[in-house]
Structure 1
């Protein structure tokens, strides 16, 4: 498990970021915050990766806030239902929402009524890149083999993804665009069924996260060819990055999780939440949970996370229409 921490509270323009500057009166207003339980909305089902990560962080944050942090699952719409409810909550800091990369993709797909601008960012907690993975008996031994074949045989490589317009479809589309290849994208209802299809020989490869293929790679059933990131994934030892394998590097697409509050939440409350949850991410039990599950802690404070989300939104605002997926 790797831990990346980006700190430094600054003023954001157009990102809804918190500022460190408050008057004495306003600072006093948050001096006793929080003084009652905090609700943490998770926009996905109980038991999934986002839910279990949120529950582990909630447990760690309780030690910091000295108040219960209660997870509430609000599912539907690929995360849109829960994030919409969170954005419309009371702006007092007592309802925090787990926001995911879908906050910056669903609006451009015409599938969500809200955008990142409906939130003030609290902080980022996790990031996972894509890894191109094939069956152990695949004829492609390297990423170069895979891309060379794809270039020579446009549309023949069947690439299973987690759904049309979902993050792993977009990650594969970005790879396609940057390498001059053309894949046959096969959508499934999530990464797990795409991996099952790969194991059964129904697709040739999947572009999902390292933790999602970790157990199958370790058992010798699958083989990852490259990680689409600037650095290798700890859970896939020996697997190089795309740049190390091919010399190709670009602005990779991956999945992330963070926290947000309604856009009108006072800045000093946002700062208190950001500092508290960041401290929670340093908790040994939380770090042990993330390592056990092969997840990477990438920690950004309110300002840094706000800028990161804005850049993601701008990128998907260009890529999704290019793919003909925009329904606006």
Structure 2
């Protein structure tokens, strides 16, 4: 792969150079633009971020906002693409199979700890490398504003009488597992029907269009429709109330012991060198902490939750084990041959 000398450098690298001697700058200039390649050049080409879900959802919106800031902090161009399907599996696999050079990244979601259990695609821990986690938001449940259901107890009562339909971002997605776990806790799992769509945005449009009785997505993702009066939130599955939906009770407050949340992070192919993971972590974390990105996250209702690459890898491995147990308890594991 050819490397191209760029006139720009990342902001954290510029600060390091400005603090050093003139000779150090001269050496860097010779390395970056001369025949001898080194890690000082990275990144020198456009970086692609693969979003495993459809445009308009939290993964897509946050990745595009981060990419804008990262062009400054990483000193290179970014492009965001959507490779959807299989509750994120297609996009995750695309990252896992990419050249491990640091120029192909992906948005991670908690589905990364789920899809391997479902037999969708082989993605056990270690299939990708974590660069960082940057967000956490609780699963939330809502109905159209003209629905007769006012509380999560109303949903449970209706499910006790007959089948109810729930729009999610895909079979095996966290929003599917998030409502199935709640329904299992309430004793009505057998009477709830998952209606999968290609991402949270499509699921929201489905419930607004009357295609389903309820929707299960992230709290921040439904917030605009709640604010406009088109949706009525019933509960959130966080340990605490969501800042973006402060008047909506938690499941715990309503007497249901179930929590479930969606995370967002950045991942790379498994054999990406440590040095490049570190460089990406530093410049992307700088983008995450920027005033512009932080303000957008707050306004959009996305809670920032940071873990570095090693911490993120450990977290995903723990969640992989936890969701293996959860999926078994709600009957989503495929039968063994």
Give TM-score, length-normalised by structure 1: 0.78
In the aligned structure 2, how far is the partner of 1:159 from the partner of 1:76? 19
Q: What pairs with 1:213-232 in structure 2 (closer than 5 Å)?
A: 213-232=222-241
SS in structure 2 at match of 1:54: helix
Please, what is the CA RMSD of the aligned residues?
Answer: 2.9
Q: What pairs with 1:117-132 in structure 2 (closer than 5 Å)?
A: 117-132=126-141
SS in structure 1 at match of 2:305: strand
In the aligned structure 1, how far is the partner of 2:149 from the partner of 2:52? 38
The count of corresponding residues between Structure 1 and Structure 2 is 297
SS in structure 1 at match of 2:126: helix
Q: What pairs with 1:13-162 in structure 2 (closer than 5 Å)?
A: 30-46=39-55, 48-147=57-156, 149=157, 153=160, 155-162=162-169
Instruction: Structure 2: state its 5+ residue gaps.
Output: 1-37
Question: Could you tell me which residue of structure 2 aligns to residue 301 of structure 1?
Answer: 308
Q: What is the CA-CA distance between 1:122 and the residue it aligns to?
A: 0.6
In the aligned structure 1, how far is the partner of 2:229 from the partner of 2:83? 37
Q: What is the CA-CA distance between 1:57 and the residue it aligns to?
A: 0.8
Question: Could you tell me which residue of structure 2 aligns to residue 246 of structure 1?
Answer: 254
Instruction: Structure 1: state its 5+ residue gaps.
Output: 1-28
Is the contact between residue 87 and residue 173 of structure 2 (CA under 8 Å) also seen in structure 1? no
Q: Relative to structure 2, which stretch is displaced further, 202-211 or 261-270?
A: 202-211
Q: What is the CA-CA distance between 1:274 and the residue it aligns to?
A: 1.4
Question: Could you tell me which residue of structure 2 aligns to residue 10 of structure 1?
Answer: none
Question: Could you tell me which residue of structure 2 aligns to residue 17 of structure 1?
Answer: none
In the aligned structure 1, how far is the partner of 2:137 from the partner of 2:249? 15
Query: Could you give the per-residue CA deviations for residues 189-232 of structure 1, whole angstroms, max 9, x where no partner exists?
Result: 24445444544555433222223322332232322122110222
User: Would the alpha carbon gap of residues 136 and 48 (structure 1) be closer, same or farther in structure 2, given more than 3 Å must change?
Assistant: closer
In the aligned structure 2, how far is the partner of 1:46 from the partner of 1:137? 27
Higher relative contact order (CA 8 A, sep 6+): 1
Q: What is the CA-CA distance between 1:69 and the residue it aligns to?
A: 2.6
Q: What is the CA-CA distance between 1:150 and the residue it aligns to?
A: 5.6
In the aligned structure 1, how far is the partner of 2:187 from the partner of 2:331? 18
Matched, 1:288 2:299: no
In the aligned structure 2, how far is the partner of 1:305 from the partner of 1:154? 42
User: Would the alpha carbon gap of residues 76 and 186 (structure 1) be closer, same or farther in structure 2, given more than 3 Å must change?
Assistant: closer
User: Would the alpha carbon gap of residues 220 and 75 (structure 1) be closer, same or farther in structure 2, given more than 3 Å must change?
Assistant: closer
Q: Relative to structure 2, which stretch is displaced further, 63-72 or 116-125?
A: 63-72
